[in-house]
Amino acid sequence: MPVVEVGRGMDALFEPRSIAIFGASDDVTKIGGRPLQFLQKYGYAGGIYPINRKAGLVQSLPAYATLDDVPAVPELAVIAVPPAGVLDAVKDCARRGVKAAVILSAGFSEMGEEGSRLQAQIGDVARATGLRVVGPNCLGAIGVPDKSIATFSVALESSFPVAGPVGIVSQSGNLGSFTLRLAGERGLGVSRMLTTGNECDVDIADAIASLATDPGTRVILCCMETCRDGAKLTQAMAMAREAGKPLVVLKVGVSEAGSEAAASHTGALACSDAVFDAVLRNGGAIRVPSIEQLLEVGHALSVVGPAHVPGGHRVAVLTASGGFGVLLADAASAQGLALPKLAAQTQERILSVVPFAAPSNPVDMTAQVSSRPEVLAQMLDAVARDASCDALILQSANAFHVPRLRDVFLAALEQVRKDHPSRLILLCARAPQDVRATLNAMGFPVVEGIDAACATLAALMRFGARDAARAAAPVIERVPLAAQAFATEASAKAVLAEAGLPVPREAIAANRDEALAAARAMGFPLVLKIVSPDIAHKTEVGGVFVGVRSEAQLLEEYDQLLARVAQKAPAARIAGVLVAQMVQGGVELILGTKKDPMFGPMVMVGLGGIFAEIFKDVALQPAPVDEAQATAMLQSLKAFPLLDGARGRPKADVPAAAKAIVALSRFAVRHADSVSEIDINPLVVLDQGRGAHALDALLVPEPPLTKAHP
């Protein structure tokens, strides 16, 4: 069976030399009539072969009763026949050597079990033969430069997209079509558009990868509902990242369960939106919350060019109004952007141009900048030369709609672009379409609306700050974990300690004498815990005692602990009592992993103890992570100041906590076939240089595979 790499074999979808249309119709309101109409209307230069059982002429072109009657093998097939006929059409395409097929027909997995079986058969044909199949139940594909059209989208009824650097991929046909239409209205040039529908073969990862390797695409816009293959999606994102192409993702389906992923129990993270968010962020994608931002960010990136987007988060705001400056400062801060005070020499230069300006940041240039281009140009030049800012926002409410003011602004901006060809300057302004086009051609993205402008700039700077040289994750051999490791807290901590997790000294005592010997070897204070494979929550049966400080107290509490457990859990099997060093002080974190069904093990860290449930302050990453990533996870927590010496507290041993996260993430990957979930609560992080300790641990095994019934 041919092995198809992610995104490979798909050029025939966008630049085929010939196209066959199964179910071609004279009726341009039918899905078999519209692709044929569009191909002729917009001047596709390749061969067009309508296939219709009646043959004859279809929309003035010679039609063929079957694919075998077509004189040449088409590179692309568009299939728009009833679902019962789709499988035979796909088989005919594979037999004749067609490279790709787009199935517009509906009536498959979205219709139930019978449709799912038929769809699976189509997918089997694709995998067995190497034919790339898009759909079924999709809105198809468009290759804009070649005017290749395999869609019935209403977005093409009035006009054809302008060729440009932005590629659009979507699982939803309507979302993809709507995005294409909005792109046209905004003057955004498009390279390719692909909607994947039910994804029996080509999926969203293939779509992303195909644009990552397309020379005509520089920015990728993606509307995503779900993911069917986590490894493929990760590879596709890596391809876009390595190609230097921003991937902007609108991920829909943000559930309440996902947004409230319980920090106290990593099991709640499975299939959640939090997992998608972490995977997209880790893959270098820019996630946006709306179609409007998808277009704004994509357009801005196409105007600026990905190579000219800086990292950092410092922005200078310039306005002709103090009120607008305050609004922009608030909106920028809400997006995580900082407004540093401008350098003294910058402020002096601003005041030398307009003595009554407010020169700090935001810069209130006053209405004087509207009088002469050189005044505005000098203001912009002064701030553009200030190294304390990574980007600039220039705001204007009405200038571009007033001819006199428009000319002043255009002249000043033209001069600034000559002096600062790579400086990121975003315009927060309303402007007529022709003026926007002029500004875009000069390299200035234009965004209407204060919140939208700041959100767009923040997204660009997140892309600029990505680690383009991120090292590939290490290859970790998967090995099974012995069943005994899952039995108790003690057995779990033993295997975790072997993997590099910091665990306090402890020993299992089968009797009072062994407990006393362990205490003498470790020293006081100590903690006693019941060890039983039948007791998951030890505190509920009185199976924990904290603060044993003498040998006499040890013997007394040992007996009482066993008595309490015997009374509250008389049927539980007792393997002994765990005698452990007592760790005092420090900051409590929760650390854990959960094996996501699509993306594999995810590692999570957050504020521990009872605060985990209250504050839901967690950081999540696909496993494994390295020390830099683990440190970044800790620094992203709202609770990080507790680790970083807030209000005179001693700094915690953050490097030790990071090493613990790394060790756990690698353990989770190594034993992913055996372990479903790991909970360490708490991980106590002591003062700087004193380490961290996993005080409690739980390993949850993978459930056994259910045998399929014959």
The per-residue DSSP string of 89-147 comes to HHHHHHHHT--EEEE----SGGG-HHHHHHHHHHHHHHHHH--EEE-SS--EEEETTTT
Residue 427 confidence (pLDDT)? 97
Residue 261 confidence (pLDDT)? 37
Contact 271, 225 (CB under 8 A): no
Residues 6+ away with beta carbon under 8 Å from 230:
279, 596, 598, 599, 600
Residue 608 confidence (pLDDT)? 78
- 3-class SS shares of the chain: helix, strand, coil, % to 5: 40, 20, 40
Task: Give dist(CA 518, CA 580) in Å, integer.
Answer: 9
Residue 705 confidence (pLDDT)? 60
Residue located via tokens 């490279």: 99
Pseudo-torsion of CA 424, 428, 433, 438, nearest 10°? -30
Per this entry, what is the length of the chain?
Answer: 710
The dihedral region occupied by 648, where left means phi > 0, alpha psi between -120 and 50, and beta the remainder, is left
* Helix pair 373-384, 403-419: axis angle to 10 deg: 40
pLDDT at 611 over 80: no
Strand partners, 683: 589, 694
Residue 471 confidence (pLDDT)? 61
Residue 255 confidence (pLDDT)? 53
pLDDT at 264 over 50: no
Task: Give dist(CA 610, CA 168) in Å, integer.
Answer: 45
- The encoded tokens of residue 278 equal 């972490």
Contact 558, 512 (CB under 8 A): yes
Q: What angle do CA 644, 647, 650 make, to 5 degrees?
A: 50
Residue 187 confidence (pLDDT)? 87
Q: Residue 282: helix, strand or coil by DSSP?
A: helix
Which tens digits make up the pLDDT trace of 410-450?
Answer: 999 999 999 999 999 999 999 999 999 999 999 999 999 99
pTM score, two decimals?
Answer: 0.89
Query: Which three-class secondary structure string do you get for 291-348?
Result: HHHHHHHHHHHHHHCHHHCCCCCEEEEEECCHHHHHHHHHHHHHCCCECCCCCHHHHH
Task: Give dist(CA 562, CA 583) in Å, integer.
Answer: 23
Q: Read off the pLDDT band of 258 (50, 70, 90).
A: very low
Which tens digits make up the pLDDT trace of 363-396?
Answer: 999 888 877 888 999 999 999 999 999 999 999 9
pLDDT (average), residues 458-478: 79
pLDDT at 473 over 80: no
Residue 23 confidence (pLDDT)? 96
| β 391-396/163-170 pair status | unpaired
Residue 260 confidence (pLDDT)? 43
Residue located via tokens 């756990």: 664
| Residue 590: C-alpha distances to residues 263, 489, 602, 680, 684 (Å) | 8, 16, 14, 6, 9
pLDDT at 593 over 70: yes
- Give every strand in the sheet of 363-364, ordered side by side: 363-364, 315-319, 391-396, 425-429, 446-447
Q: Which of 441, 395, 549 lies closest to 189, judged by CA? A: 441
Which tens digits make up the pLDDT trace of 498-510?
Answer: 999 999 999 999 9
pLDDT at 612 over 70: no
pLDDT at 55 over 90: no
Q: Residue 604: helix, strand or coil by DSSP?
A: strand
Task: Give dist(CA 436, CA 211) in Å, integer.
Answer: 27
Which tens digits make up the pLDDT trace of 102-121?
Answer: 999 999 998 889 999 999 99
Residue located via tokens 């600026």: 304
Which tens digits make up the pLDDT trace of 9-52?
Answer: 999 999 999 999 999 999 999 999 999 999 999 999 999 999 99
Which tens digits make up the pLDDT trace of 112-161?
Answer: 899 999 999 999 999 999 999 999 999 999 999 999 999 999 999 999 99
C-alpha 125 chain-centroid distance: 32
| Residue 327: C-alpha distances to residues 1, 323, 429, 527, 612 (Å) | 60, 6, 14, 56, 35
Residue 146 confidence (pLDDT)? 97
Residue 467 confidence (pLDDT)? 65
Residue 252 confidence (pLDDT)? 85
Contact 695, 684 (CB under 8 A): yes
**Pure H helices in 113-271:** 113-129, 173-185, 204-212, 230-242, 256-259
pLDDT at 333 over 80: yes
pLDDT at 646 over 90: no
Residue 230 confidence (pLDDT)? 92
Task: Give dist(CA 202, CA 195) in Å, integer.
Answer: 10
Q: Read off the pLDDT band of 259 (50, 70, 90).
A: very low
